Amino acid sequence: MRYICIVFLVAGLMSSFTAISQESQRSQKDVFQSSYNASKKKIQSQKYQFIGGYVYNNKNREKIDDNSNTFIINTSNVKGSLTSLSTEKKTFILDGMIRNYEAVFNDDKQTIRVEFKVETESEMYDVFIDVKSNGNAFLTVKKSPMDIISWTGKIKAL
């Protein structure tokens, strides 16, 4: 009799933990859905700002001043500057026309991929932005195959 009571008690506790776990997963998905929808709306407007928090390469990562590592996308133009790791001392000045802007929204995975080119007076840059479901943005700017800088940050509506 005692054994049967213990079995029922354990089974009851297990079902309670399972129900709590499932509800927690649903709540987390709802939070990410809200964040994803907000990011999607910003990207669709083509009027937003990238604010960098960290710059990195394959080996190093460094916190950066978010006031000086930002650029603004305003429909067909980009304006701003982004710096590399302090050891590399490179800066990309993005001030020009946007060409071939494309945004791909994966609603199932809650991810966004943005690609475009920036044409300045003297340079052409390839820009790639990946926005995750939690709102974090990963930016890569490529000036040439050997001149690439990557950042993590956030997207902010204008």
| pTM, entire model | 0.80
Digitized pLDDT (tens) for each residue of the chain, 158 residues in all: 666 656 555 555 555 555 555 555 566 667 789 999 999 999 999 999 999 999 988 788 989 887 778 999 999 999 999 988 888 888 889 999 999 999 999 999 999 999 999 999 999 999 999 999 999 999 999 998 888 999 999 999 99
Q: Please, how many CA atoms are within 13 Å of residue 44, restricted to the half-sphere of its CB?
A: 7
Q: What is the pLDDT of residue 145?
A: 84
What residues have CB less than 8 Å from 51, skipping those under 6 apart?
A: 66, 69, 70, 153, 154, 155, 156
| 78 vs 141: CA distance, rounded Å | 13
Domains recognised in the chain with CATH numbers: 39-157 (2.40.128.410)
Calculate the CA dihedral of residues 86, 54, 52, 80 and round it to 10 degrees.
20
Give the number of other Cβ atoms within 10 Å of residue 134's Cβ: 12
